[in-house]
Structure formats: C-alpha cells, structure tokens
Structure 1
Amino acid sequence: MSTHHQSLDIPPTSVSSSSSRLFSNASNIAITGGQFTTVEPNMHGHSSDLQRYGLELLLKNISHGALYDAAERGDPPRCHPGTRTAVLQQIMEWIKAPEHLRKVVIWLYGPAGCGKTSIAQTIAEMFAKEGLLGASFFFGRAIVGRNDLSQFAATLAYQLMQPSPEIKEILLRTIEDDPLIFSRSLEVQMQLLVVEPLKSIQLPVSSPPRVILIDGVDECGPDGEAQTRLLNVLGVAAASLQHIPIIFLITSRPEAPVRFKFNTEPLQDLAQSIILNDYYRPDDDIRLYLKENFANNTFHQQYIKFPSEWPSDDAIEQLVAKSSGQFIVAATVVKFVNSPRHNPVDRLSAILGMTGGGSENPFATLDAMYSIILSEVHDIQRVLQVMTLLILGTNYSDILTTGVISHLLHCNILEVLIDMHSLLLVPPTHDSESVLLIHHLQLCDFLMDQSRSRQYFIDVNKGHTFLCQCWLDVILQLPLPKSPLNLQMCIQQFAFHCEESSNANIANQLETFSLLTASEKIDNPKDLYGDQWGIFFKIAEKHGGPDVLLRFEDELYMFFISRLHAYTPSLQPLIPALFCLPNRQELVVLLIRLDAVEFDGLRSSLLMLYDSHAQEGLEKEDSQYFFHNLFMQRQSSARNSEIDLQKSYEALAKVFIERLWSTLQ
C-alpha cells in the first residue's frame, strides 16, 4: 500500500521574512494540508502612538497666545485701511525681492506707540492669506507665556509643521528621540526644532520665501539679557538658513541691547532695517485714521445731533499735531472721544483745550491727555489702587483677573473701571476670569514719574505697603465664598510686597499678623507645613525683630501640638509635656519644612516609639546630635529616598521622646 503526498511549493516571495525563519536550515520541505497564519507587528500603530505622544508634548510647551490669530489677543491692533501703505509696501517688496537681492532678516523699529505691532499684525494676516506665513510670535511684557523665552522655539516649530508633512515628521521624530527636548537650552531647541527641520526639507531657492515674524523683542524678559540671548539665537538661525527661502521679520523699540546686537555680527550683515519715522508720513495716516473713526461713530449718531462740520478740519489738524507721529495717541483720543457713556463733542473739546507740550518731555502731549482722562474718572483713588496693583504686581500678573482684583480691593472692579476703557482692556461685565491688561506701557511710566503725573503719582514704596496690607487682610478673611484666592497664593504675594517695602512698614505689618489666627482657617496640615510658612520666619528674622520672631515660633509650635493632638488622640498624655519642652527653636526650624506626607510619617513614628518606650524603653541618645544631623540633611536635600525620610522621622521622634520622658520624670 502506498501513500500519495501532495506537495505544496511556496515561492520565496510569498513568505515574509519573519515566516521564513521557521524553515531556516531546512531542505526538501513538503507541506501537506493545514493553514498557516502570519502575524506581523503593527509598526504603523506603534509609530502613530509615538507621534501622538510627541504632538501632545509639543502642545504642552507652546504659547497659544503668541500666535497672530490667538483668541487670547482678542481683536489685536492692525493698520487702519488705507494707512501705513508706504511702509507695508516697502516690507512686501523686500520680502518678495529676488533671492540675490534680499536679506534674511528685516528689522522694523521705532519708539513706543508708533504702531509697530499694528504693522506686524497686518503683515502676518496678509502673508497668512497667501500661505507664506511660516510662524509668528507676539511678545507681551505683562503676559505669562509671552514675556520670556521658555516656549519660544516650540511655538515656532508648531506653526512651521502645520502646512508641511515633511517638517511634521522630522519634528515629531526629534521629540520621540528626545522627550526632554523642551527642557534643553533655547539654543538647542532652536537648532533641533526649527533650523534642522527647515534645512532638511530642502526648499528650492526659487520658492516664495516663508516669513517668521517676531514682534516686540523689547518686551521679552525683565531686562536686556533675555533680549540679547534671543537675538543671538536668531542670528545663528538666520545665518544657517540664509540660502533657504526663509525671512525673519523682527520688530522692537530701539532699546540699547537690541541696537547693539543689530550693529554687530552676524545680524549686521544679515539684516536690513526700517525705522518708523517721518519718512513714511505718519501724519497723513493719522489724519485719515481720525477722520474715518469719527465719521463712523454710528452709536452716537442715533442720539446726538452733531454740528454740521464735526469735527472741523482745524480740530483734526490739532489732533494730528498732538499725536506727533504716534498712532497710540490718535488711538487713545478716538477711544476717549467715542466712549458710549459720554458726549463726543464735549470730550473732543476737552482734549483740544488741554495744555501741555514742550521739548523737555517728548510725551508731554500724551501726559496731558492722560491727565484729562483721569480727571473724569469717578473714583480716582480706587482706580489708582488698581493701577498700583497692575504695575507693582507684574510677577503674578497672570492671576490678576477681575474676580481676584475685586476680592483683593473689596469692590466691583468692573464698575470702578467704567471710565478707564480708553486706557485699559477691561473684560465684559459678566467675565470675572479674564486678566486685566493695560493698553500701553507709557501709562505706567507716566504714573510712576511724579514730575509727569503730579496728583496721580504712584509711589512705589507706599504702593508695596498698601498691597502688603491688602494681601494680609485677605489672609485673615479666608476662606472667602466664591473666591479664587487660596492661602498659599496670598502668603506668597504678601511676602513679595513685604520684601519690596521699607523695613519700618514691614515691621508694622508683621505686628498685626498672627500665624495662629491664620492657622485657624486651615483644614489640611499640608497648608501649614511648607515653604510658605518659612517665608514669614525669613521676613521676621530680617525685618520684624526678636519679639516678632519669638511670637511666630510660639504660635507655630502651639498649632503643631494642637494638630498632633487632633490627629492622634492617643498621644494626649504627652500634650502637657510638649508645651513645656525647652529649646524649641530647632524643632520649629524643622517643622516649617514638613509637608503633609511628612507630617503623617512623623505622627506615626511618634505614636510607634511612644508605645515601644512605654513597654520596653529606649536607648539614650544625644538630642543635639539628632537635631543637628536632621537639620543638615534637610538643608542639603529637599527630598531623599523613602528610607532616608523614615530615618529622619525616627530621629526626630526619638528626640521628642527623649525630651518628653525627661520632662515627665
């Protein structure tokens, strides 16, 4: 009897590399019947997950409000139709010039208020419509996320990848390879996230150039150091990309650090500059802007009968002269005159009738106009308090919503600012979560210069003292119903203004403050044991004197003991002894460094060692050694392993028991 085998020949091309490994080193293969299933790894799905992860990382590190069309910027300033045509045409011609005639950087600069941001916004919108806007970043001095360099490179990279799958693939692969890229230096981020992707796609030189627009370099960082660093990075990037159709359009005031960088290599050779001066005939543009904005005041035309020729040509010419080429003056005049709450004829007469001028102060006209506006404010003292907060609270400007300011100053801030819409960006009446913004920085300069603002002058030292008291009042009133303020936030700001105020004023504030009173508002031990309480001890040591420091130590220690008792009733027999312990200062130093987790560990250790002492007793230890050892350990490292922390708890607990037992005996 013979058996017939039906052989199946499998062509090599039909077997995947993974399948063929099953038959390696085999010969004369005969496969009869059966079914084979090849499972391939889903590399595409894995890649998609990595790309999604890379995109999520990127989105977490961009400044959403810095884009030209960001919702955060509201209705941004742009060139009024028919104005700025000469300078816009000049910029367009330079950008679209043949490759051998154009520079890789254009620097547009001019004094504050001359309209640089309006021009930048208009250019961004024009090139976006043509598909030639590569990226934009609008700096804002008082706006978190737009006033430093932490998110600059990532924001540019995100925009550059939007129209380009090639750049997107390169960029996301870079992030996948180095998920910590956003913690690297600005120089490294610009090279890997912006320069390398642009160089990799090899755009033809003949392609229309893409514009990377950066507005307000002078508003980056608190001083010239950040501006210098930014221009260093941009200079290196521009030099690397000068043979690629990319153009950087940069705007700024002519501040000293910025001028210096554009007058030295590499930007000196890479850039061409445009200064916004009389060459571009700003008076003609301002005249057109004023005429059309007054003529289009349709709101008042429904209720008021205007004079037949209002405003007169003479009035317009006076306003043009007062503007001195600064669009910010004209824009402020229009907002002031067209206020829906006032008669525009009367408001314009007030502006035209004001005095001011002279060569000594280039902002004399603007100052006189500020004085006119402030003179018509109903509650000027409250408004100046708001301005004090906005000017001196720049380190926490991102939390200064209308709701926070209302709680802090005990008023309805939107009602207080009803007459300030021509100078401030005030949110709608129903919006309590928007941040309050000043339209332009000259107002701050005006208010802080007594020779210019006179009765509206804001004294810096008195301002910090006032805000110190405001934050202290809120601390003592917490918790406030429907308030976004919390204890940690209030303590940080109170401490900030204490540090900025004079010694005498700080001492007065500390005399009225009680840690024990504030602690009564705390439900969670975590709110007590943290750096915010250490702030008070630092201030008291420096400014408050020994009496205040001793009182703070006693109050904190008493609260610690009461909290220990509340959380661990079984330790009640030790409470009297705890209040009698000598030399508590070292213990207080340690207590102000304990957070909630460590508090629980300390409490558990105390309970455990107390029980064991009652049963078996403990070895004698040198208490000073334990305090010194633990103090030095916490000074050198805020966090160690859990084992080291437990040793610290036990060491501190032993000191407790040692002192307690000696007291009880």
Structure 2
Amino acid sequence: MAFPNAQNFTINNSTFATAQTISVTTGRKDNGPLSILLEFVAIEATHESASALYAPKCHRGTRKEIVQDIATWTRHRGSKPLLWFSGPAGGGKTCIQRSVAQIFQKENQLAASFFFSVRIPGLDNAQRFVATLTNQLVSCVPGLKPLVAKILKDDPTIFQKSGDVQAKILLVGPLAKLKKTQGSWKKRLFAKAADFPTVVVIDGLDECRDIRERRMVIDVALLLAKVASFRFIIASRPEYDIRTTFDSDDINKLAHRIRLEVYDGTSDIRDYFSDKFEEIRQTHPAKTSIPPDWPTEDVLETLVNKSSSQFIYASTVIKFVDNPRRSPMAMLDHVLKVSAAATTSIADNPFKELDALYHSILHPPDVDIALLKRLLHVVLVIRQGRETFQTYGVNGAFLDGMLGLEKGTTEIAFCDLHSILHVPNQLSSSSVYFYHRSIEDFLLSPLRGGDLYQSTAVTHHDLAVICVKIASMDDEDAGTYHRKVKDYAIEEWFGHTRHALDDNTKPLSTSLLLCDPVKSLGYIFLHHYVAGGMAERFSFPLRTIEVLQDSLHRKRCSKRDPQEGCLLLCRRIQRIRVKRSDLTRLLSLAGARSEPKTELRKVYLQAFFNLLVLPE
C-alpha cells in the first residue's frame, strides 16, 4: 500500500507486515515446462489467429478446381509426402491455402499450419516455426505432450538452438519413440490410411527472408513426413533457392508439384469483377446514379484481360474503385486511363501497392539494372508479335544469341524473377513471357516503372540495329548465331525499323538508313520460298517492307530538302515496289519446282538480285 504525496495523517488500530515475496498473475495458467513453449509460439502465423478471421479469402465460387486438386492429392496419400504449390506473385496462393486449411479443419484432418508474411512483424522469419508447429501437434498427437514437456523441463534453452535441432529433439525423437509404443491410436497415426489429423499447411515460404531458414523448413517437413504420416502442403513463389531445393534429386522424388499458372482463372476473375461491381451498384451511397449496365461488357473484358488470371490486379482495381466518397464511374475511368496512357501522377496512381510489389521483385540484390531493363523490354516488344513470338521460341538461348550475350546470361538475369516471368530452360521450345499483363503497363510508364522504364520506340530501334547487323552477315560470318536468330533478324528488322520511326525526336541509326533490304529478301527467297516454303512466307515481308517505306517517306524523307531527295533506304524499297510484277513472275517460276538443285537455286537467286538491285 502506498500514499503518494500524503502528509500529516494518522492510521489507528492497524497491523503492518513486510512482504518478502510478491506474486504477479498474468492471467495465463502455469502449464509447467510447456509455458516455455508458449513464449516462442507465433499464434498469428496459424489458421486460428485473430488476423486470419479477417484475412482475404477466395471469392465464393472461385478457385474450385485448384483447391479440389490440392485436397484430392492430400487425401490420396501416395508415395510423396510433400506438395509444393507454386505460383506467380499476386496469384492468390494464400487465399487458396486458407481455403485448403479450412477444408481439412472441417474434416478434422488439419494438424498444423504456418503462414509466413512480410507484412506481420515476426512472421518474415522461421525463428518461431518449430515452436508453433510443436504447440499445435501436442494438441492432436496422443502421447506427444508429456514427452515434449519432459524435454522442455530438461532443456529450457532449446529454443536458442537451430531450427532443425529443435525439430529433431522436440518432434522427430518423441514421434519415433511413440512409433515404437503400443496403443490403439498407433495404427491411425502411422498407417497410410490414417484418419488422424496429419495435414500441415505452410504458406508464403518465399516471404521467409533468410534462404537458409527456407531450406530448414523444407528439411523439417521431410523429417516429420518420414517419421510419421504427415502430409505437407507448402506454397510459395518459384524463387531460385526454393526451385533448386525441390528440383534436387533427394527431394524431387518425395515432392509433388502443382503450378497455379497452368490453371485458367479467366472465368473466376470475370465472376469476381461481376460480383464486386454488383455490390458497388447495390451499396454505394450514390447507387441511384450508377447505370444498371455499368461497367459495360467491353470494359469488363478489358479488366479481365489485364488481370491475366491473377487476382492481384483485379483486387487492386476493386479496392480503388470501391470508395464511398468518390464516384465509382470516375474512379474506374481513371484506372482505364492509367492503363491506356501508361502515365499518371504518383499521388493519383491506383496501382501503388501493385507497383511496390513489382518494384521489389524487379530489384533483387546485385541486379544489373541496365541489362535487366534491356532484356525485359526486348521480351515485351517481341511478345507483341504473338505469332512471331511462338514461331521462334524466344527462350534464354535465343535472347543470348540475339543480343550477343554470353551463354546463360539471360537465365542468370531472370533467375530471381520466376514469380512474374515464365522462364523455360535452354532446351525448351517455349518462350519467355510475363505472367501479368499489368507488368507491361508498369514497364512502359515513366513514373511507375522508374529506372526500368523505356519506350517501345527505343526498344524497336535497339532490335532493328541488332537485326540489321545479323542480317547483313554472310552465312559463314553468321555461323555463330542460332538459325532461328538469323531467321528472326532477317524477317523482322523491317517491322522494328518502322516502329522505331514513332520516336520523332531521335534520328535513325546510320546502319539502318544504309542497310539493303534486297539482301534480306534474297535470303528469305532462297531459304524459304525456293526451298519449298509457302508463298505466304515471302509475301508477308514484302507487305511489311512496303509499310516501312510509307512510314519512312512520310516521317523522314518528306521533311528533307527536296534537292537531297529520298533517303537511300526509301529508294531501295521503292525499287522493289516498282519491280513487284516482275518479282511475282519469278516467284511463280521458282515455286513451280519442288526443291530445285543447288545450281538452279543459285540461278534463281542471281535473277532475284539482278531484278531488284538499285542502280547506283
């Protein structure tokens, strides 16, 4: 008892005692040695945390297929105890994992969970991972609690040791001991067809910042799966260290993989947008002024396409539009204008959170920004020609060859970007592509893209110069280039040069202005048309080169001094156009024969050059 600031008072008929010991009750029961465990448990990381109640979940009716596939695999209990559920950034993996956890909790099959997060303090590392798993498992594994309690009593400093040591002492050892004991529950716990809670859900492994701790989590999962019949569902982005761990021989044979990106979420995204816009029409303070058909089907389709089957774009749009203090029509119009114009003020950017995610992923440690920017924009521009993109198989080997980089450079530059890029290996015929179309908007906006911004005209000019260099080489000199790279350079430099003209502030490179289109057409004529190719294979570059001349003449030649006349490139293309009818007859003559002999092919090619070469 204390009497602060009291003066001149008397206490009568009282007895005073001196307290030697003071006990403080915190409101938590003393669980003996298990109290030590509770000090290191991260309740916020579990599916039963307070924040989990309000965490985003799958929109009703969506993601049914992939949730069902994960649940089916888990129930099947095949030879592989680990499921790696990988997917792009912002694909909705955490929402899916919460749905999976909810399903198995209702079935009394969920043994434990751990949701890593860089947004919640303390959940971006694995320091509390083993303690949190242990706390959940002692509640559902009969006989485990007293064994763990004894270990904690004997060694109260165990949580100062490494994660794998904690797991071996607290879980692996006791579970192995239980496995040898007799009991009616034994068959249920360790049998393949167990009805005992054995499913463990781990989410956001990539959000655990320390790559050594990531590996520890996977190793602990394997240890527990081997000693008992636990089934682990581990979700993450396909980061380099996680990919290589699951691809290693010792783990690959024990892990099944489900890739989120192979599931078409288009209909789910459309349903999400439709339901959310309906909610806005029904609940917004200005609902009477919102047209019943807002937004239009065309706008809805645009938003669905921009989403690229990934919910992060869709949820960002809805979060921005659903503002009770703003007009939803005006807010949505702003979103569409930002996407179309690729420019905005920082203050009015509806994609601030999305851009922060992209910026973080695209700036890994020790990144070569200049190289990465060039590669990203080359992929972006080449991909705009969809048919061309698929024809050539634009993988790492192709990009290395096209840009004159040392073999493997592209794959190294992209190794930390697999959460936003599909990056096939060198032997694959598939192409590199962005998982999210919204990344293209990001890269093409000066304010949003920052140090990764580059205009498409600059990229086209870069590619045009490269293509002309390769196209001008003789076959012997170009021998170091992949055949597909040579074909691409010869057939596509016309289009890249035409698009480079869109930037009126920069002159075309001298190499472009002096290049000879006849040589490129001769290569196409000889290797594709005369060698048995389709007529369309030759007619397409002819049309493209004529469009190039129209653009070149309008944007550059017409602004020159009339006495100077047209640029040499323009005059060379004009010669081709003048001789178009003669060229058609030659094509008919060559096309009438199927794969002529070498000498005859040389005759055709010489006739081709004699017809088209511009007299100097």
Give TM-score scaled by structure 2 length.
0.49
Q: Which has the higher contact order (CA 8 A, sep 6+)?
A: 2
TM-score, normalising length from structure 1?
A: 0.46
